[in-house]
Amino acid sequence: MKLSHVALAPTFFTNIVALSRATDNDIYFNLGRNVLYRLATGETVYYARRLGGYWALMHRQPTLDSITQSTFSIRRHQLSRIARKLVGATATKWHKILGHVGPDAIKQLPKHVNGVELEELIDERAPLKVECEVCLLAKHTQQISRRREHEYPATRPFERLAFNIISLGKLGYNGDRYIMHFYYTYSKFNFIFTSKNKDKATVLPTIRKTHRLIKIRFY
């Protein structure tokens, strides 16, 4: 069977017939007799009965029993009285579903939203902004650079350098958590060192080591 010019209406419990398409096929509606008939022969094609504000079409002439039991009868849409099933997800998953909201808002979801359930709330919380890569990229604000290297440009190699300590989100392959980065503005040369700490006892020896390395290798 091949259907054409049809549409699915999930809340409408019957088939809908377009009267304009029926007339194109020489079938007309007689409102006095409540039937659809073929104009050329007068043959009755369908019987009609008004139910729920619509016309229900039937193959046989409707009786009281057939009207109440007919599968073509129209039922009005009724809201379900059954409680909605809880939707459970971890705090991290709700964080992603709801557009990366903060952990405090995620924690209050079950109190203010029906049907929401948090799983593993004791062992897991929603990530903070600094712990979520998407949050970091989306909520990053513009920072105006205060660098003055354009006012005091370097005129020779290793005359001026920039130093920075970078904290890693996860431990490196060697167990170190911090990166000490030396950047030389004239030649754009880089030195990189890793360390487990960023205290004075670790940073100062690294600076001295870098200074000695430059003097021995490049001077």
Which of 138, 153, 172 is the endpoint of a domain?
A: 138
Within a domain: 150:
no
Within a domain: 144:
no
Q: Check whether residue 123 and residue 58 sit in a common domain.
A: no
Residue 219: predicted pLDDT: 73
Residue 187: predicted pLDDT: 85
Tokens of 137: 């990229």
Cα 63 from Cα 14, distance rounded (Å) = 19
Cross-strand pairs, 51: 54
Residue 74: predicted pLDDT: 44
Residue 193: predicted pLDDT: 93
Residue 84: predicted pLDDT: 67
Within a domain: 81:
no
Which of 56, 76, 96 is the endpoint of a domain?
A: 76
Cross-strand pairs, 179: 166, 194
Low-confidence residues in the chain, pLDDT < 70: 1-3, 5-16, 52, 62-84, 120-123, 144-151
What is the pTM (predicted TM-score) of this model?
Answer: 0.34
Q: Measuring CA to CA, which residue among 80, 150, 72, 148 is closest to residue 115?
A: 80
Surface-to-core class of residue 95, CB atoms within 10 Å of its CB (0-12 exposed, 13-18 middle, 19+ buried): buried
Residue 150: predicted pLDDT: 61
Q: Check whether residue 27 and residue 66 sit in a common domain.
A: yes
Cross-strand pairs, 70: none
Other Cβ atoms closer than 10 A to 182? 20
Within a domain: 22:
yes
Residue 102: predicted pLDDT: 85
The number of domains in the chain is 3
Helix (H) or strand (E) holding 178: strand 178-184
Q: Check whether residue 171 and residue 207 sit in a common domain.
A: yes
Cβ(172)–Cβ(183) below 8 Å: no
Q: Check whether residue 6 and residue 53 sit in a common domain.
A: yes
Helix (H) or strand (E) holding 190: strand 189-195
Domain around 174 = 161-218
